[in-house]
Amino acid sequence: MTIKLKLLGVRGSRPSDKKSSLGYGGNSTSFEIVIPDEDFYLFIDGGSGISRRGFELGEDTTINKFHFLITHTHWDHILGLPFFSPLHAAKNHVNFHASKTRRHSFEEIFNGLQKNGNLPIPATQLQAQLKFTTIEPQVPFKIEDKILIETFQLNHQGITLGYKISYKGSSVAIITDNAPIEGNYMGEGMKEKALVDKKAFEQSFNEGLVNFLKDVHTVVVDTHFTESTLKVDWGHSTPPRALELCKKAGNSRLVLFHHAPEDSDQDVNAKVDSILNDAKKAHIEVKAAKEGDVWELCA
Amino acid sequence: MGTLRVKLWGTRGLVSSPGHDTAIYGGNTPCVQILHKNNLIIVDTGFGCCNLGEDLLERILVNKEDLKIHIFYTHFHWDHIQALPFFMPIYFANTQLNIYSPEPQETTASNLEILFDASYSPFESLFTMPAVVKVHQITKNLEIDGLKIDFHAVDHGSSLGETEAHETYAYKFTNEKNESIALLTDHEARSSLRNDSLIEFAKECNLLIHDAQYTEKEYNKYAGWGHSTSQQALENALKMGAVKTLLTHHHPFRTDVAIEKINHELRQDERFHSLKFEFATELVEYEVGNKKKKKKSTNKVSKVG
């Protein structure tokens, strides 16, 4: 039995609500890994998409274990968390797995969301038993001893993690926020490494990312910009660059992600069209991430 | 040009809720624009302000305008402040952003600063953004180009924390013709001295925009959380003698269909037969004035008598 990837929020930077983008959806980043016959839930990031999912689940779930993999702590990836209903039930156990930056641990960030005067609901509402686990990039670990999680530090502010999730032979890789590295060192610690030897660092980053994605069937990749709108220091990438990555890594399906808040559904379609022919030649299926989509993951 | 109008860019409480099932009433968190002469006056920067910001881009980029924008904050809960870093005019050096709150400047500044903190955003500070940002503590008798702005603390719940860092405020905007808009978002209209005082504050306003997040059934659980039921809001409207009432701050997961159902039930309620009210719809421009009611135009402008 394979696991599935459910897209709860596909919009980048911030939630966006416009009539012209209702097709692909306006909720900000959140994913669910749907694992049949298990006694836990697994989510990636808590953008506004997680609040809606939480409303569906309610406080009274039969499954009481929840794991969150956090890519990074930009608002669009965490703002939905306090409104995730299962967090409001004392019988639930919620484990957040996240990197720790020089500035803050994830626990401090999460507590910051509940700051007196900012949280629109009583802080006492968040009654679930919480656990905060620090992840070191590139140190694999397992969720509930079953799901293998591998990470790679992406080129984005702080320590932004790309995730590869593997279970019983099927896998998916998720690269939510990642900018071109050439002359553009955004992640914590990257400038220092590049200072030693720029070319070597850039090569090792690019090769490392390809190896990380090697032969994964489905990859979800940041394609916030087009080549003409690209601003590398904003921390995001484009469809052609995502496709080049997939060609090198031998992936079968590329899911374009992190749609810009100003992108209409037509703009997203245009992004797909811009690389469709090239992708077909390379035998790579290209789709745009759509809220509510469920992808069955393959080997 | 002479009419006072209001446009709600966001009507949803707590958290953004975009989707097909909220597309009519809207899924953006609160932002209210007061349209008075050519002034740019908004209340709160929930994600609704982003669509306004995109609209304003044309004025900045094409018309080359130097925008002067006045932002009033009712309070600093995430849903009312969170979208400020995404409000496009803040990225332009020729934008002047005047930020107002009845709270001390340091309180306002520190609550907004966290939005630009480098742990949560790609920025460093509100004050290093390109726009010229000034934070003001407002006192009574503020006037902008003939528009009087008044404020009054509301009841935003006892369950939200005993040591609430700051108050939540209602605003009243009154033009030269004495036409007024009273905005009572995030107010729990339960029986209290404060509610009595607010009734006086908003007496006979032309347009009352009132929090109505809960149903009566939900209120059994959420009393003290700082929001009103639709019934409480309309009872206030009756006592205030408001000419027209917009019910806002919709529960994030209340679908358009569900809102319509509540709307229908309220209209069967005899108590409210004399009231003109509707559930606030995102992007509709409501006119506030004493003219005769006109037919709805395709630009979604609605007259208020």
The whole-number pLDDT of residue B298 equals 40
CA distance A121 to chain B (A): 6
Tokens encoding B134: 């000034």
Residue B299 predicted with pLDDT over 60: no
Minimum-distance CB partner of A55 among B81, B115, B253: B253
Q: Which residues of A touch B16 (CB under 8 A)?
A: 15, 17, 26-28, 48
Which superfamily, per CATH, for B5-303?
Ribonuclease Z/Hydroxyacylglutathione hydrolase-like (3.60.15.10)
Q: Which residues of A touch B54 (CB under 8 A)?
A: 262
Contact A80 B115 (CB under 8 A): no
Q: Which residues of A touch B18 (CB under 8 A)?
A: 11, 15-17, 21-22, 25-27, 48
A169: left (phi over 0), alpha (psi -120 to 50) or beta: left
Contact A117 B166 (CB under 8 A): yes
- pLDDT above 70: percentage of residues in chain B: 92
Mutate to test the interface with A, among B12, B16, B160, B250 (most CBs of A within 10 A): B16
CA distance A80 to chain B (A): 7
Does any CB of chain B come closer than 8 Å to the CB of residue A141?
Answer: no
What is the rounded average pLDDT of the residues A105-129? Answer: 92
Per-chain mean pLDDT for chain A: 96
Q: Which residues of B touch A291 (CB under 8 A)?
A: 19
Confidence band for B160, pLDDT divided at 50, 70 and 90: low
The whole-number pLDDT of residue B237 equals 98
Residue B305 predicted with pLDDT over 70: no
Contact B47 A75 (CB under 8 A): no
Calculated CA dihedral for residues A45, A47, A52, A58, nearest 10 degrees? 50
- Residues 6+ positions from A252 with CB-CB distance below 8 Å: A217, A218, A283, A284, A285, A298
What is the rounded average pLDDT of the residues B193-204? Answer: 97
Q: Which residues of B touch A115 (CB under 8 A)?
A: 114
Backbone phi, psi, residue A223, to 5°: -135, 50
Rounded Cα distance, A220 and B107, in Å: 41
Q: A11 by DSSP, 3-state: which?
A: strand
Pick from B62, B7, B3, B16: which is nearest to B281 by CA? B7
In tens, the pLDDT along A220-276 reads: 999 999 999 999 999 999 999 999 999 999 999 999 999 999 999 999 999 999 999
What ranges do the domains of chain B cover?
5-303
Residue A178 predicted with pLDDT over 90: yes
Tokens encoding A226: 């087009």
Q: Buried b / exposed e across A161-196, counting CB within 10 Å, b at 16+?
A: bbbbbbbeebbbbbbbbbbbbeeebbbbebeebbee
Cβ proximity of A216 and A251 under 8 Å: yes
Does any CB of chain B come closer than 8 Å to the CB of residue A55?
Answer: yes
The whole-number pLDDT of residue B290 equals 57
Contact A261 B86 (CB under 8 A): yes
- Residues 6+ positions from B50 with CB-CB distance below 8 Å: A14, A16, A261, B28, B83, B86, B87, B88
Cβ proximity of A137 and A151 under 8 Å: yes
Task: Tell me the β-bridge partners of B173.
Answer: B149, B181
In tens, the pLDDT along A5-19 reads: 999 999 999 999 999
Integer CA distances (angstroms), A66 to A30, A91, A121, A148, in order? 14, 11, 21, 16
The whole-number pLDDT of residue B164 equals 59
Integer CA distances (angstroms), B35 to A18, B10, B41, B88, in order? 21, 15, 7, 19
Q: Indicate the pTM of the whole model.
A: 0.95
In tens, the pLDDT along B105-126 reads: 999 999 999 999 999 999 999 9
Contact B16 A27 (CB under 8 A): yes
Mutate to test the interface with B, among A118, A124, A224, A265 (most CBs of B within 10 A): A118
Per-chain mean pLDDT for chain B: 93
Contact A118 B77 (CB under 8 A): yes
CA distance A204 to chain B (A): 25
